């Protein structure tokens, strides 16, 4: 049974917003998702009734805040099916996906990368999964290799043996591309990486919110994602680290909370995972994120993926039948629904995406225009920017129909004055 | 149809400037140069300038602009306005332009100085696109002398 979308939409107050005298159509979910009332209420409820610092207090509120905070850590570990998470919770709170990747580049990778070692990323990485490795490779005199993509912006797997080999120390790859909508065959890449003893980091910022992601099944070493793209609050990132690495991982940030014993000369670290979280953590947002996880679990991640695939198929069908759009607009990314997400990225020679985006905004439609933090990819495609519509659980076929009507209208508007 | 502000903003004059910007031809001597990049969207403006040695006004220029129609059209219009103007007059024009974008009242005399830049008035209601029209002015802030390059 499909999720009841009209019921779901009632949970998102912002979806009734009027923008430029039009009903909001929110199609900028790859940038950030909207928040259901359950998450908003949990956040305000925490500040009204539970607010207190975690872990150190002996008073009632501190105990309650600590319990709720740590319950969400368990919930998230279970959500991604982390192995044996009850014995050692492998979830580390960060500020966002970017910080999660940076921490690994400055800790595990910094400690393990040697001269002439190789790190493999793909040609479709977000800047956050490219620049930290550029700097590290320069410092270590290691090599950064960019796994090539084909004309449909999919990884070109004929290069698998060439790019992932005995020199490879780390494969750091995006699961689902934020700018092209490509879902990468990460199981194939992880298997290959394991065969050469390389570690694997999965950037799950665009996959964990939209489909089941199981780290036990994947056998990846690191998984990073952000709460705000999956109905949760902003300012909260997640770093999952596999147990064998986690046990030997050095903390990056030092200070309060992460210590067991301190003298004027030295300090010993707290237990995992607290030793990786120096200072007061983002308590309120973690607790509210728990409600986002509950919300997603109630619908079911497979159902969410199914719904978005149906919306994407619906969108591809409209495009296929619209001659004007077909002739005047290019859709990037895979044509096969099985390996594409609900991210649709367009380029047109008729007008710059920012101008089209302004016209769409005038109709109440929120899309993203720009390089989507994938500038090298944009350069390789020969476009300065693209227009991206991205779907989530609350989007409907009616909204997609409206998007295409308004997108065509904006193209015709500029086309007529050419 | 679109709002009045959209129709005013994307009128034929702005469209023409964005499709065929003025002052694209190379100039015979470059004494100064200015470059501005909008790091959020990647739009770029470059001005190659020739200054008059006597009155220190811009006597000739070449505009190289990449980006959205607002940034290209505003660059094109500004490029036509600043030739022969003193730096004080150029600054004054920018101030009036920014006053207009901030929805402040401007006098008829000030409107005369703005020329076709007046068509960007709707940007006072589209905050997010103001920066597109200001890119050319950012480049003008950063005009730097070059060792004269003869083409």
Catalytic residues of A: 373
> Can you name the residues that pair with A269 across neighbouring β-strands?
A259
Residue A233 and residue A366 in one domain: no
Residue A208 and residue A357 in one domain: no
Q: Give the chain A residue whose CA is nearest to the CA of B2.
A: A362
Residue A48 and residue A25 in one domain: no
Distance between A398 CA and the closest CA of chain B, angstroms: 20
- What distance in Å separates the CA atoms of residue B129 and residue B10, rounded to the nearest whole number? 13
Residue A62 lies in a domain: yes
**Boundaries of domain holding A394:** 5-30+301-416
Burial B96-112 (b: 16+ CB within 10 A, else e): bbeebbeeeebeeebee
Point out the domain boundary residue: A261, A277, A298.
A298
Residue A248 and residue A313 in one domain: no
Spatial CA neighbour of A394 closest among A4, A32, A68: A4
Residue A238 and residue A324 in one domain: no
pLDDT score at A417 = 67
Q: Tell me whether residues A351 and B69 touch, CB distance under 8 A.
A: yes
Count of other CB atoms within 10 angstroms of residue A271? 10
HEC profile for chain A?
A: CCCCHHHHHHCCHHHHCEECCEECEECECCCCCCCCHHHHHHHHHHHHHHCCCCCCCCCHHHHHHHHHHHHHHHHHHHHCCCCCCCCCCCEEEECCHHHHHHHHHHCHHHHHCCCCCEEEEECCCCHHHCHHHHHHHHHHCCEEEEECECCCCCECHHHHHHHCCCCEEEEEEECECCCCCEECCHHHHHHHHHHCCCEEEEECCCCCCCCCCCHHHHCCCEEEEEHHHCCCCCCCEEEEECHHHHCCCCCCCCCCCCEEEECCCCEEECCCCHHHCCCCCCHHHHHHHHHHHHHHHHHCHHHHHHHHHHHHHHHHHHHHHCHHHHHHCEECCCCCHHHECCEEEEECCCCCHHHHHHHHHHCCEECEEECCCCHHHHHHHCCCCEEEEECCCCCCHHHHHHHHHHHHHHHHHHHHCC
Quick one: tokens of A326? 């077909």
Q: How many domains does chain A have?
A: 2
- What distance in Å separates the CA atoms of residue A120 and residue A320, rounded to the nearest whole number? 36
Q: Tell me whether residues A370 and B41 touch, CB distance under 8 A.
A: yes
pLDDT tens-digit series, residues B59-118: 999 999 999 999 999 999 999 999 999 889 999 999 999 999 999 999 999 999 999 999
Please, what CATH class does the domain formed by B4-150 belong to?
alpha beta
- Domain boundaries of chain B, sorted by first residue: 4-150
The band of B52, judged by pLDDT with boundaries at 50, 70 and 90, is confident
Selecting from B3, B15, B70 the residue whose C-beta is nearest the C-beta of A362 gives B3
Is the pLDDT confidence value at A17 over 50?
Answer: yes
The verdict on B6 touching A (C-beta cutoff 8 Å) is yes
Give the CATH number of the domain where residue A111 resides.
Answer: 3.40.640.10
pLDDT tens-digit series, residues A362-392: 999 999 998 888 889 988 998 888 999 999 9
Give B41's contacts in chain A (Cβ within 8 Å).
Answer: 354, 369-371, 385
Q: Tell me whether residues A352 and B69 touch, CB distance under 8 A.
A: yes
Point out the domain boundary residue: A232, A265, A298.
A298
Q: Tell me whether residues A354 and B2 touch, CB distance under 8 A.
A: no
Residue A180, CA atoms < 13 Å, CB-side half-sphere: 33
Residue A327 and residue A284 in one domain: no
The overall average pLDDT reported for chain A is: 96
Is the pLDDT confidence value at B148 over 70?
Answer: no
Spatial CA neighbour of A360 closest among A300, A407, A320: A407
Phi, psi of B4 (to 5 degrees): -55, -40
Long-range contacts of A147-151, Cβ-Cβ distance < 8 Å, separation of 24 or more = A147/A120, A147/A121, A147/A122, A147/A123, A147/A173, A148/A123, A149/A122, A149/A123, A149/A124, A149/A182
Spatial CA neighbour of A341 closest among A229, A216, A190: A229
pLDDT tens-digit series, residues A241-289: 999 999 999 999 999 989 999 999 999 999 999 999 999 999 999 999 9
Spatial CA neighbour of A257 closest among A408, A56, A87: A56
Spatial CA neighbour of B20 closest among A417, A383, A384: A417
Residue A388 and residue A288 in one domain: no
Selecting from A20, A351, A385 the residue whose C-beta is nearest the C-beta of B41 gives A385
Residue A222 and residue A369 in one domain: no
Residue A70 and residue A192 in one domain: yes
- What distance in Å separates the CA atoms of residue A366 and residue A25, rounded to the nearest whole number? 6
- What distance in Å separates the CA atoms of residue A338 and residue A152, rounded to the nearest whole number? 14
- Tell me the average pLDDT across A138-150: 98
Give B69's contacts in chain A (Cβ within 8 Å).
Answer: 351-352, 355, 414
Spatial CA neighbour of A35 closest among A209, A226, A228, A294: A228
What is the percent of chain A where pLDDT is above 70?
Answer: 99
Contact B28, B151 (CB under 8 A): yes
The DSSP bridge pattern shows strands A25-26 and A22-23 to be: unpaired
The verdict on B86 touching A (C-beta cutoff 8 Å) is no
- Mutate which of B1, B2, B7, B18 to disrupt the A interface (most A C-beta within 10 Å)? B2
Residue A306 and residue A224 in one domain: no
The band of B151, judged by pLDDT with boundaries at 50, 70 and 90, is low
Kindly indicate whether the ipTM for this predicted assembly is greater than 0.90, answering yes or no.
no
The band of A228, judged by pLDDT with boundaries at 50, 70 and 90, is very high
Residue A268 lies in a domain: yes
- In the three-class reduction of DSSP (H, G, I as helix; E, B as strand; rest coil), residue B30 is classed as strand
pLDDT score at A90 = 97
Residue A232 lies in a domain: yes
- Tell me the average pLDDT across A388-399: 98
Distance between B116 CA and the closest CA of chain A, angstroms: 18
The band of A1, judged by pLDDT with boundaries at 50, 70 and 90, is very low
Residue A308 and residue A293 in one domain: no
- Tell me the average pLDDT across A54-82: 95
Quick one: tokens of A348? 């047109």
Residue A287 lies in a domain: yes
Residue A35 lies in a domain: no
Distance between B72 CA and the closest CA of chain A, angstroms: 11
The verdict on B66 touching A (C-beta cutoff 8 Å) is yes
pLDDT tens-digit series, residues B2-37: 999 899 899 999 999 999 999 999 999 999 999 999
Point out the domain boundary residue: A247, A282, A298.
A298
pLDDT score at B42 = 82
- Mutate which of A354, A366, A373 to disrupt the B interface (most B C-beta within 10 Å)? A354
pLDDT score at B149 = 62
């Amino acid at each position: 049974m499909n999720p009841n979308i009209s019921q779901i939409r009632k949970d998102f107050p912002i979806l009734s917003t009027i923008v430029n005298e039009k009903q909001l159509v929110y199609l900028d979910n790859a940038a950030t998702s909207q928040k259901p009332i359950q998450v908003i209420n949990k956040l305000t409820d925490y500040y009204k009734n539970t607010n207190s610092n975690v872990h150190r207090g002996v008073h009632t509120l501190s105990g309650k805040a600590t319990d709720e905070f740590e319950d969400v850590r368990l919930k998230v570990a279970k959500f991604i099916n982390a192995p044996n998470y009850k014995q050692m919770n492998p979830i580390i709170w960060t500020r966002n996906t970017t910080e999660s990747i940076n921490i690994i580049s400055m800790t595990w990778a910094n400690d393990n990368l040697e001269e002439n070692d190789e790190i493999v990323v793909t040609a479709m990485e977000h800047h956050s999964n490219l620049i930290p490795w550029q700097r590290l490779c320069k410092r270590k005199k290691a090599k950064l290799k960019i796994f090539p993509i084909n004309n449909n912006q999919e990884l070109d797997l004929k290069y698998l043996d060439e790019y992932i080999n005995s020199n490879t120390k780390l494969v750091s790859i995006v699961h689902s591309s934020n700018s092209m909508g490509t879902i990468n065959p990460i199981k194939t890449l992880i298997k290959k990486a394991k065969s050469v003893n390389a570690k694997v980091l999965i950037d799950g910022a665009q996959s964990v919110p939209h489909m089941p992601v199981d780290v036990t099944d994947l056998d990846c070493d690191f998984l990073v994602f952000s709460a705000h793209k999956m109905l949760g609050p902003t300012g909260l990132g997640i770093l999952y680290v596999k147990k064998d690495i986690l046990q030997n991982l050095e903390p990056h940030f030092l200070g309060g909370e992460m210590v067991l014993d301190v003298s004027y000369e030295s300090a010993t670290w707290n237990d995992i995972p607290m030793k990786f979280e120096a200072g007061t953590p983002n308590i309120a947002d973690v607790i509210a994120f728990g409600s986002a996880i509950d919300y997603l679990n109630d619908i079911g991640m497979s159902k969410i993926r199914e719904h978005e695939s149906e919306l994407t198929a619906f969108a591809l069908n409209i495009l296929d039948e619209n001659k004007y759009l077909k002739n005047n607009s290019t859709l990037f990314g895979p044509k096969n629904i099985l390996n594409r997400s609900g991210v649709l990225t367009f380029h047109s020679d008729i007008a710059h995406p920012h101008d089209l985006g302004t016209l769409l905004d005038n109709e109440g439609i929120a899309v993203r225009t720009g390089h989507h933090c994938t500038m090298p990819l944009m350069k390789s495609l020969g476009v300065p920017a693209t227009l991206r519509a991205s779907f989530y659980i609350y989007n409907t076929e009616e909204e997609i129909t409206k998007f295409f009507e308004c997108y065509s209208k904006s193209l015709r508007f500029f086309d007529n004055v050419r | 149809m679109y709002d009045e502000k959209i129709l005013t903003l994307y009128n034929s004059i702005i469209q023409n400037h964005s499709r065929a910007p003025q002052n694209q031809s190379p100039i015979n001597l470059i004494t100064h140069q200015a470059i501005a990049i909008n790091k959020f969207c990647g739009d770029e403006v470059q001005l190659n300038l020739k200054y008059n040695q006597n009155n220190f006004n811009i006597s000739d220029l070449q505009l190289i602009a990449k980006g959205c129609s607002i940034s290209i059209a505003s660059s094109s219009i500004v490029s036509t306005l600043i030739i022969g103007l003193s730096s004080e007059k150029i600054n004054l024009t920018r101030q009036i332009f920014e006053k207009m974008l901030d929805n402040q009242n401007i006098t008829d005399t000030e409107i005369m100085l703005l020329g076709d830049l007046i068509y960007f008035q709707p940007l006072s209601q589209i905050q997010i696109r103001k920066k597109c029209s200001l890119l050319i002015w950012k480049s003008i802030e950063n005009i730097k002398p070059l060792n004269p390059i003869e083409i």
